[in-house]
Amino acid sequence: MSKVFSPTMLAVTVLGLLTAAAGPGSAAGDPAKGKAQYEKYCVACHGPQGKGDGPAGRMLKPPAADFTSAGSKKKSEAELAQVVENGKPGTAMGPWKGQLSQAELMDLIGYLMTLRK
């Protein structure tokens, strides 16, 4: 029996393979381009340093994710991409699938990885 992969599953798989090939802590996308995406779409909730303290993020229940937290640092690039694309149930994080190209998604994830340092 053959398995059919959705474009999202394929992109996450490729992102995971690129991450593994490039080494730990590396990003598949361009963080400089990802910063522009972050500032356009994410900063209002996640804040300028990714601490979940943006003007809208402080009012959310549960609060916006803090990308500098120990828990967030444990998430792989593929896991972060999955949340960005599909959202996170029970939170204000909605799906961005179809709103970002795969290149934009990878660039954004690349930038999110820089917020962990």
Is 55 domain-assigned? yes
- Higher pLDDT among residues 1 and 59, named by residue: 59
Query: What domain range includes position 69?
Result: 30-114
Task: Give the gyration radius of the chain's Cα atoms.
Answer: 14
Under 8 Å between Cβ of 107 and 96? no
Helix runs in the chain, H state only: 7-22, 31-41, 43-46, 70-73, 77-86, 102-114
pLDDT at 24: 42
Other C-beta atoms closer than 10 Å to the C-beta of 31 total 17
Average pLDDT, the chain: 84
Is 66 domain-assigned? yes
Compute the C-alpha angle 93/105/20, nearest 5°. 110
Is 5 domain-assigned? no
Structural domains in the chain (count): 1
Is 73 domain-assigned? yes
pLDDT at 101 over 60: yes
pTM of the model: 0.76
Other C-beta atoms closer than 10 Å to the C-beta of 94 total 10
Each residue's pLDDT tens digit, 40-79? 999 999 999 999 999 999 899 999 999 999 999 999 999 9
CATH, residue 92:
1.10.760.10
